[in-house]
Amino acid sequence: MTTTKNSSPIVSLSNATFTIVDSSYGRDSFSTQTNTSELVSFELKDVLIPAQSAVANVSVNLDYKAGVDNTQFRNILPVAEFVEDSLTNSRNPNDFYEVINKNVTTSLLNNPSFDFTSVLDFASITLDVAPNSNIPFAFSNTTTLSADGTTDTLVSFELKDVLIPAQSAVANVSVNLDYK
């Protein structure tokens, strides 16, 4: 997990790392708030996603609204279990990663047992998927969902050593697909 200014690990498990970040540093452009709020992040390593027969590292960011009381922060362990269970139980082989990720992010934000809509500005989940039999290169899929229902999905990947005949050259090609 990337460490940023003012971050401190809370707890580490065998497949997860949890961090609270002062999100006034390097705020995501998706959130337009100018006030400081708290960003709680965790990462799950090597999560099997049966629907696509792939393994992914999963990053979850929960951006709490500015000024939330310390008692309003949610216990993160059930949240991590919910995300991992949702991904490992997604079994429709026709679902693309973007659909799986959007479904999990939406389910997380709208889960009544967490009541995130009252305390979060947004939640985002990133799937960093390893090369597999379906897609032979690593790629990343991030779904961000705001409390008001606005969704943003970004898919990124890089193709290495692509031959460009017109230039008699080889290049790496980075692709970013931003779905609004």
pLDDT > 90 fraction of the chain, expressed in percent and rounded: 58
List, for residues 18-47, the tens digit of each pLDDT value.
555 444 333 343 443 434 558 999 999 999
What is the C-alpha separation between 5 and 11, in angstroms, rounded? 18
pLDDT > 70 fraction of the chain, expressed in percent and rounded: 79
Evaluate whether 20 touches 40 at the Cβ level (below 8 Å). Answer: yes
Residue 135's pLDDT is what?
Answer: 87
**What is the CATH code of the structural domain delimited by 8-151?**
3.30.1130
Domain residue spans of the chain: 8-151
Average pLDDT, the chain: 82
Q: Is pLDDT of 2 > 70?
A: no
Tell the residue number behind the tokens 């965790």, with chain if given: 42
